[in-house]
Copies of this chain bind each other. A is one copy, B any other.
Amino acid sequence: MRESLVRAGVAFLTEKGFASTGLDEILKSVNVPKGSFYHYFESKESFGIELIKSYASYFADLLDSNYLDPGLPPLQRIAAFMEEAKTNMARYEFRRGCLVGNLGQEMAVIPDSFRQLLIETLHDWQSRTAACLKLAQAENQISSNLDCDVVAASFWIGWEGAVLRAKLERSGAPIETYGAHFLNSIQR
């Protein structure tokens, strides 16, 4: 029951964000009474923390399944991650974005405890991307002049914009445009 609450919570937050999502509609969607909810979670805030952590770890796995794929050259692994992310968005007709980006946009209305966790999550994804870029550098796919940590930081800063725009346009085209320009800009 705990797990289905988390799954439903993540779905609501990726689609509507934190402020517009009521606890009641999450509970209703999985037929869980309020009393049971408070058996598992102390408050909407601690539930939110759990949802961020769950999404962070789900997404880190998705990154690793691409970035650590020995069957592809490193730069193509990044391209494959972007393709998979786009496909996942298409499955929900581009209604669901990135939970971290959604909450990041809601800074004014989310609990302050979320903030540090969101930043840490982005840094975690960033460092996985930097590691893959360093492999690409070692294989001479990208210039040795590039600072892979800075490039990975810039990639993630812009990536959340691409996901946002894909939601707005209900299309994968913004992800393709952003991804192609990013890869072109670092490729040898």
Contact = CB atoms under 8 A, between A and B. Distances in A.
**Copies of this chain per assembly:** 2
A168 interface: yes
B109 A95 contact: no
Contacts of A19: 17, 19-20
A158 B95 CA distance: 19
Interface of A is mostly: helix
Contact of A157 (B97, B108, B177): B177
Interface in A7-37: 15-17, 19-20
| Interface size classification for chain A | 35 or more
A95 B22 CA distance: 24
Nearest to A100: B168
A128 interface: no
Contact of A165 (B95, B104, B185, B186): B104
A132 interface: no
Interface of A: 15-17, 19-20, 95, 97, 101-102, 104-109, 115, 118-119, 122, 150-151, 153-154, 157-162, 164-165, 167-169, 174, 177-178, 180-182, 185-186
